Amino acid sequence: MKNIVIAGVALATLTACQTTVQQPAKVLYPVERCGYVEEPVYGVLDRPTSDGEVLGGAVIGGVIGNQLSDDPIGTVVGAIIGGTIVNGQRVQEGVVVGTNRVYRCQTVYE
């Protein structure tokens, strides 16, 4: 039984070595490819804060108020202040407002 297992492992190893075929080296030459591509155009969106952001500010303010005061009133005051500060802010985000078609060239190797 041991001879059969050893012969099977040797056959599997021999088969694995025989199936590996290396490709000859290729010489790649630079070629310039040109064409039109769509390039994004960015703009700025100015918006008021969302309800979730106000809630997050209230939670963070409540945590800070709780750490600064042992009284539960400190937690409530901190939450009110945190929500009020965030509520008065505006958020600016970069967004894609369109695309431009641009002619570009790129060097590739073939």
CA distance 22 to 5: 30
Q: Is residue 95 part of a domain?
A: yes
**pLDDT tens-digit series, residues 28-85:** 899 999 999 999 999 888 777 778 888 888 898 888 888 888 788 888 888 888 888 8
Q: Is residue 80 part of a domain?
A: yes
Q: Is residue 16 part of a domain?
A: no
Tokens, residue 7: 């012969």
Q: Which residue has the tokens 């010489």?
A: 27
Q: Is residue 47 part of a domain?
A: yes
Q: Is residue 9 part of a domain?
A: no
CA distance 47 to 92: 6
What predicted TM-score, i.e. pTM, was given to this entire model? Answer: 0.43
Q: Is residue 49 part of a domain?
A: yes
Of 3-7, 25-29, 92-96, minimum mean pLDDT range? 3-7
| Count of domains for the chain | 1
CA distance 101 to 20: 47
Question: Shortest CA distance to 65 belongs to which of 84, 87, 82, 85?
Answer: 82
Q: Is residue 1 part of a domain?
A: no
Query: Domain of 98?
Result: 27-109
CA distance 40 to 45: 15
Q: Is residue 13 part of a domain?
A: no
What's the confidence (pLDDT) of residue 32?
93
CA distance 45 to 86: 18
